Structure 1
Amino acid sequence: MTFTTLSSDFFGLEAGLADYEKAKLAELRHYLETDVKPVVNDHWDRAEFPKDIIAGLSRVGVIGMAFPETWPFETTAVFRGWVALELARIDASVATYVGVQNGLAMGAIGVCGSPEQRAQWLPGLGSGQIVGAFGLTEPLSGSDSAQGLRTTAEKRGDTWVLNGEKRWIGNATFSDICIIWAKDVADKQVKGFIVPTNTPGFVATKIERKQSLRIVQNADIVLTDVVIPHANKLVNANSFADTATVLRLTRGEVAWAAVGIAVGAYEAALAYSKERIQFGRPIASHQLIQDLLVKSLGNITSSLALVQETSRMQDAGTQRDEHAALAKAVATTRMRESVAWCREIFGGNGIVLDYDVARFFADAEALYSYEGTREMNTLIVGRAITGHAAFV
């Protein structure tokens, strides 16, 4: 399959990928364009997830890339970033589904699980036969999860009993397992647990009336005396520092997805500007339209350089929390600017779902907030450069 660089990749950064990575990216791009893009607006409008794409996503290999149990060759963080961008370029909700399945559910088991737990769960998750979710955020605990987690875990013999509530848990209405993070009542440390969603006492209820990422099936979860075997406790998840290790792996890919949303909006706006005739000529020939397009492309180009360098540092083992935090904060801020400029190019048509840009505009708000708000990421970077923590 022929590899074609995106028009929005103005400096040709994709060209630095290895040949086999380009081939996989071309295969993914073809699948998304032909099988996913035609259905996303309808599913976004109905707030439903197109479950039939899961098998296709697994077939083109976007699930399980980081783990030898589920992927035939070693991948780089840079390549995984390009995959996140490509997914979000078509639809942010699909990118979020993959991010939850890949980076959070599989990531928690891959990073914090024992070899036996990895062998038991990763192959099924990687094939898409098992759908995973990640339960950290709570109704009263988001940015302060390190200290404010209220869900509890109590060891009773060879079992653990979980009680509490979770909120905004992606994939949870149709997932087979959910990684639940809970505070051990004995030592007050946050620990991770693999919880089958058919366990008695586990109830997931879809969050309705969302106006962003409508395809993502976010849920409120209530855990009432949920009993799981000790074998389902993640062996290496024994403090919030372990939770943060998982989040660190995914924050950079969220930044890539933010660039992808901006790319999707930009490409839609560029195409529309060449087709829309006003005053007897395409609006692409108008100075003000070109100004909006160039500002959007500038944001995309600078953000793309930032997230690619951040991923290169991850591959080299030199990335720190503040690097991923800066990438996420900057990329999502520039994304928010760009989708607004692109929506403006459409005029009144920019609020109609049929033209795609309204979906990108709405979905950008969710990425701006999740996986660490701009403010929280700013404080992480601020602490690194000043030596002073300003979180409270």
Structure 2
Amino acid sequence: MSTTTLASGQETRLYEVADWYDAESLLTDDERRVLGRLRTFLDEKARPLLGEYWERGEFPEELRQPLIDLDLMEPAELTSDGQSARGIYHGFRIFELARTDASLATFYTAQAGLFRTAIRVGASPEQQREWMPRVVDFSLKGVFSLTEPEHGSDIAGGLATTARRDGGEWMIDGAKRWIGGAATADVLAVFARDVADGQVKAFLVPREARGVAVEKIHRKTALRMMQNAHITLSGVRVTESDRLHNVNSFKDVAAMLRAMRSDVAWIATGIQAGAFEAALKYVREREQFGRKLGSFQLVQEKLARMLGNVTASLSLVVRLTEQQERGIYRDQDSALAKMQTSLAMRETVALAREVVGGNGITLDTDVARFHADAEAVYSYEGTHEINALIVGRALTGVSAFTT
């Protein structure tokens, strides 16, 4: 079994129970130490705040800068040889965040996954040299602004935000919705349809530019800590230098999505691990009919099913990450991972809530957070149906998407 030294100096596996087949053994000692540092921060600083802020529907701002200061995106100890941190490390970083809280995972991957991918895939080499170091150190904070009020699953053909070239500038009009972290971003990576050729282009729009309005979405029952926004763009002007030069059609956007869906599959897997661990802790301690809940046959069967879901999901995302690390990126692979881990997540959080009983609807056991937040993750980055159709198209060679 692999071990690592946590901040306490204790030698232990990070994922003692949830990682049944020891996928952690694929990590290096340095990678485990970085993840151990994150684990200590989450347990000591973040976890005590989560219930209160989730109930209030606010993000714990006191965690934002300390989380950034952990240097998790490209940690110095993992990049001293000039290479980037490995994909398996990035996956487990997402897993660790999500097994603590889905909003924290979504907040961090909004920058480290979505926005970084927009720059990595969409920016020209010159733009990458200018922007990427600032993305990594969070001095340029951005969000991925694709979904619209009336277009989610049909965004490829239905994207309605427009961009009109006017000399050396572009004028952008439209609206975006469900954009997490927009209110605190420096720039919005906005996708708009060029009225001249009908193709999708992408622009880095300053959040404080004239004509940009950002409104918090209220009355959510999932990801309550994550601040999702409705964005209105009215005659917003940006320069040609702020256009992502490698985004010239929706095919270029699709290249981003196939990379980002694997991040969401890791989130779905981490949520399962967090719900399973919380439920297991509860049934080991709670007594009914004079016995620990964990001693009942029906409870043990549900625990075994939860563990099976976590193990299968973790095996799936680890293998997907290994393929992507070798340069194999296929729409159907990331779609299958997102679809399957989300399905397993839905069952796992429901079983966790079930074995915790009435206390499973309170924030005291953590299970309620995972149970509610899972519904948002189930839908974003492609619904179950959309991802299933992507896989089905690859299997049959026939597209079943309606037009």
Instruction: Using structure 2 for the length normalisation, give the TM-score.
Output: 0.93
Deviates more, 1:311-320 or 1:379-388: 311-320
How many residues in Structure 1 have an aligned counterpart in Structure 2?
A: 390
CA contact (8 A) 1:172 1:219 kept: yes
Is 1:14 equivalent to 2:24 in the alignment?
yes
What does 1:149-164 correspond to in 2, within 5 Å? 149-164=159-174
- Give the Cα–Cα distance (whole angstroms) in 2 for the partners of residues 350 and 121 of structure 1: 44
Quote the offset at 1:151 in angstroms: 0.2
| Residues 163 and 224 in structure 1, CA contact (< 8 A), matched pair in contact too | yes
Q: Secondary structure at the match of 1:41?
A: helix
Query: How far off its partner does 1:36 sit?
Result: 1.3
Aligned position for 1:296 = 306
- The CA deviation at 1:64 is 5.5
The answer to whether residue 27 in structure 2 is matched with residue 4 in structure 1 is no
Q: Who is 2:249 aligned against?
A: 239
Q: 1:12 Cα shift? A: 0.8
For residue 22 of structure 1, report the CA deviation from its aligned partner: 1.4
Give the superposition deviation at 1:166: 0.6
User: Equivalent residue for 2:9?
Assistant: none
1:180 to 187, 190, 196: 190
Q: Distance in 1 between matches of 2:329 and 2:125?
A: 26
1:98 and 2:108 are equivalent in the alignment = yes
After superposition, where does 1:88-127 map in structure 2 within 5 Å? 88-127=98-137
The 5-angstrom pairing of residues 54-65 of structure 1 reads 54-63=64-73
Which residue is 1:375 aligned to? 385
Larger mean Cα displacement after TM superposition, 256-265 or 75-84: 75-84
Q: The residue matched to 2:183 in structure 1 has which SS?
A: coil
1:283 aligned onto 2:283: no
Tell me which moved more, 378-387 or 108-117.
108-117
Equivalent positions of 1:361-372 (< 5 A) are: 361-372=371-382
CA contact (8 A) 2:173 2:235 kept: yes
Supply the distance in 2 between the matched residues of 1:69 and 1:14 (Cα, whole angstroms).
20
Change in Cα spacing, 1:280 to 1:286, as seen in structure 2 (3 Å) is same
Q: Does 1:258 align with 2:268?
A: yes
Question: 1:302/1:370 Cα in 2 relative to 1: closer, same or farther (>3 Å)?
Answer: same
Whole-Å separation in 2 of the counterparts to 1:29 and 1:382: 38
Aligned partners of 2:257 and 2:381: how far apart in 1? 8
Identify which range, 49-58 or 215-224, moves more after superposition.
49-58
The Cα of 1:71 is off from its aligned counterpart by: 11
Task: Give, in angstroms, the shift of residue 125 of structure 1.
Answer: 2.9
- Following superposition, the deviation at residue 232 of structure 1 comes to 0.3
User: Which segments of structure 1 move beyond 3 Å, counting only runs of 4 or more?
Assistant: 68-73
CA drift of 1:123 comes to 2.8
CA drift at 1:69: 11
Q: Match of 2:234, as an amino acid?
A: T
**Cα distance in 1 for residues equivalent to 2:360 and 2:132:** 41
Q: Is the 8 A contact 1:62 1:98 kept in 2?
A: no
The alpha-carbon deviation at position 122 of structure 1 amounts to: 2.7
**Aligned equivalents of 2:215 and 2:147: distance in 1?**
15
**Contact residue 276 and residue 282 of structure 1 kept, 8 A:** yes
Read off the aligned partner of 1:4 and give its amino acid letter.
R
Q: Who is 1:338 aligned against?
A: 348
TM-score, with structure 1 as normaliser: 0.96
In structure 2, C-alpha distance between the alignment counterparts of 1:335 and 1:113, rounded to whole Å: 34
User: What are the ranges of 5 or more consecutive residues in structure 2 without an aligned counterpart?
Assistant: 7-11
For 1:64 and 1:148, locate their aligned partners in 2 and report how far apart those are by CA, in whole Å. 36
Instruction: Decide whether the 8 Å contact of 1:350 with 1:358 is kept in 2.
Output: yes
After TM superposition, the structure 1 stretch with the greater mean CA deviation from structure 2, 118-127 or 204-213, is 118-127
Q: Which amino acid aligns with 1:5?
A: L
Among 319, 325, 331, the alignment partner of 1:321 is 331
Conserved? CA contact 1:135–1:178, under 8 Å = yes
- Report the equivalent of 1:42: 52
| In the alignment, structure 1 residue 199 sits paired with structure 2 residue 205 | no
The reply to whether residue 274 of structure 1 matches residue 284 of structure 2 is yes
Match of 2:222 among 212, 218, 243: 212
Which moves more between the two structures, 73-82 or 98-107? 73-82
Aligned residue for 2:332, secondary structure, equals helix
Provide Cα deviations, 1:292-346, integer angstroms capped at 9, x if missing partner: 1111000110111111111111011223111111111000000000000000111
Deviates more, 1:34-43 or 1:295-304: 34-43
